[in-house]
Chains A and B, each alone.
Chain A
Amino acid sequence: MMLRRGEYHAFSGADARYLYLVPSAGVVELDDVSHAVLETLATGDKTANDLAESLGSRWSGEEIRSSIDELLGVRAIHSVIAPPVTPPPVKSKRSIPLQTLVLNVTSKCNLSCGYCYEYGEDRIVESTTKPRFMDEATARQSVDFMFAESGDSPSVNLTFFGGETLLNFKMLKSSLAYARQKGEELGKQVSASLTTNATLLREEIVDWFIENDVGVTVSIDGAREQQDKFRVFSNGMGSYDIILPRIKDLLARHKRRPVGARVTLTGQNLDVASIYHHLFEEIGFWEVGFAPVTTSWQREYAIEDEGFRSLLSGFQSLADDYLKAALAGKRHGFSNVRDTLEEIHKGMSKSHPCGAGFGLLGVPTDGDVALCYRCAGSDSHKLGSVFIGVDHAAQATFLETHHIDNKTDCSTCWARPLCAGGCYHEAHTRYGTTTQPNLHYCEWIRAWTNTCLEVYGTLAAKRPDFLEHL
């Protein structure tokens, strides 16, 4: 039987050699024999006898054969005439329990950030045709819808989003109170979270966060100069000086749930090290997550190739800091690396890039049901309404057409178990369709995934206990 190398990505960490198996997403450590077998197969297909012969001076035939068996077992290698069978895609179940419902309680915002996907040049939502604020009846109906769609799940997460979420604080209070009361009746746990630009935080609101265990994420781009580049009021005034005291008060008082910062990176704002230092060390956020701005390529704030390269080295050096902190038993707040480590540790192999459209749905102000909060309000991404329920046929079609098996470009990429083609909204903005994989950042994703795998491998070798807490 001729043997050939299968699909995997080899990486190392500390002094150990690992394989990231594709598409299973298993991570195995190689011993010297297995490594030598794979290296020998790199020069071309060989039979087990060829391998035993060429490696015979270093290991016994039995050692080599048992190594081959194990590599065959995990599909790191396969027989040339019997490539591993890919099972036909499993059809999604008709009803998938909803875990997170995102309510866009308002489409209005008191900031005018230059890169905003809701109001900027690349917007997909025509906000003018929808109510600016979600009304009481729609919010209650959305909560009822959330429970109805949650199936047997013992808990649900209600997330508030905007516009600027706190412009509709009244609605947050009443809808969460209603959801908690209803959750109690149904015996379901309701967790709540929201994202805010922090301009409207005040004592009463922070009290409400504390009393209701609300998870808070603040959109902030860094220190004053970084923040005020794009995150400005409509008169052009920067928002940093307004939000800083409010955030400090929030962090000082709200200790029930970790408060995170969420940074939008642009061509003009890529210095992740200094942004991280300011937000984590100086302001005191629990964690800091970064995301490149979603934009079509020709916008002046879009990140160019050179920018993506410098962003990658910034991410890599911050990942290195994360690793050093983890090895020293200290907490580091770079959430991008932490989230990826968790996915690697579980061995997630995604059929879809995110939970949008099944575990997560978004509801715009008028009560339509959308793919996610970013697409909420766009009629072309509608999957029903909270008043009549999810259009299950449309949902099934969406999930089928967006399955990773239907993304031909991804079929040979080793990073597909984690990436699965990337954000639908990003793809829509770049290519005009959600079905298209985000090919503009493939190289970047592979390099970044490799970095995270190396961090993972080093931790597996030196601090396996750390991985248990992921």
Chain B
Amino acid sequence: MKHLKSINQKAHRIEGMLQNDVVALQQGPGTGPHVPLGCSFVFSPGWEVDSNGGTAGLCQPVERDLFDCHITCFWPAHVPDLYNHAPDWTAKCASAQKDWRKIDLVFP
């Protein structure tokens, strides 16, 4: 490191870990599980992953993501455009938890 100087033994070990040669889709050091990111300024508890980095312990089902991506944040590529081209896209899905299988692909 050029700007920071490792002083204690732990800092030297951290510095050693930072010398990764291949880094992809990551921010910060390449350790730990990959966690999908985004939209966390919207307060939707359980939106992303549970405390173990998985989805089993979420307080909302992962299918809830469909609506979070769709309605509360700008992420148009992942879900159909409800306002112009596919207004009935989720018409059969009253409750995402139970009816998510009824949401089908949309072809332009």
Q: Which residues of A contact B (CB under 8 A)?
A: 1, 18, 21, 24-31, 33-34, 63, 66-67, 70-76, 78-79, 81-82, 84-85, 87-88, 344-349, 456-457, 460, 467
Contacts and interface: CB of A to CB of B under 8 A. Distances in A.
Contacts of B33: 85, 87
Among A27, A63, A72, A456, residue most surrounded by chain B Cβ atoms (within 10 Å) = A27
Interface string B1-36: 111111111110111001000000001110111010
Nearest to A20: B8
Contact of A347 (B5, B13, B18, B52): B13
Contacts of B11: 21, 26-28, 74, 347
Nearest to B11: A26
B45 interface: no
B41 interface: yes
Contact of A344 (B6, B8, B51): B8
Given A72-B27, A72-B28, A78-B28, A347 B53 contact: no
Interface of B: 1-11, 13-15, 18, 27-29, 31-33, 35, 37-38, 40-41, 51-53
Closest 7 CB pairs of A and B: A347-B10, A26-B11, A29-B5, A27-B8, A67-B3, A27-B7, A28-B4
Contacts of A75: 28-29
11 contacts: A24-B10, A26-B6, A66-B2, A72-B28, A81-B38, A82-B28, A85-B33, A346-B8, A346-B9, A347-B11, A467-B8
Contacts of A29: 4-5, 7
Contact of B10 (A346, A456, A457): A346
Given A31-B3, A74-B4, A85 B13 contact: no
A460 to B, nearest CB: 5
Given A74-B14, A347-B9, A88 B4 contact: no
A97 to B, nearest CB: 22
B53 A85 contact: yes
A42 B13 CA distance: 27
B65 to A, nearest CB: 16
A298 B103 CA distance: 66
A28 B1 CA distance: 10
Contacts, number: 104
Contacts of A84: 28
A309 B54 CA distance: 47
Contacts of A78: 27-28
A285 B5 CA distance: 37
Contacts of A66: 2-3
A8 B97 CA distance: 41
A418 to B, nearest CB: 12
A383 to B, nearest CB: 28
Among B8, B14, B15, B31, residue most surrounded by chain A Cβ atoms (within 10 Å) = B8
Given A72-B28, A84-B28, A460 B35 contact: no
A73 B11 CA distance: 11
A70 B29 contact: no
A24 B11 CA distance: 8
Contacts of B10: 24-27, 346-349
B32 A81 contact: no
Among B4, B31, B32, B52, residue most surrounded by chain A Cβ atoms (within 10 Å) = B4
Given A21-B11, A74-B14, 20 more contacts: A25-B8, A27-B6, A28-B5, A31-B2, A34-B4, A66-B3, A67-B2, A71-B3, A73-B1, A73-B14, A78-B28, A81-B38, A85-B35, A87-B32, A87-B33, A88-B52, A345-B8, A346-B8, A346-B9, A460-B7
B37 to A, nearest CB: 5
Contacts of B53: 85, 87-88
A70 B3 contact: yes
A82 B27 contact: yes
Contacts of A72: 27-28
Contacts of A25: 8, 10
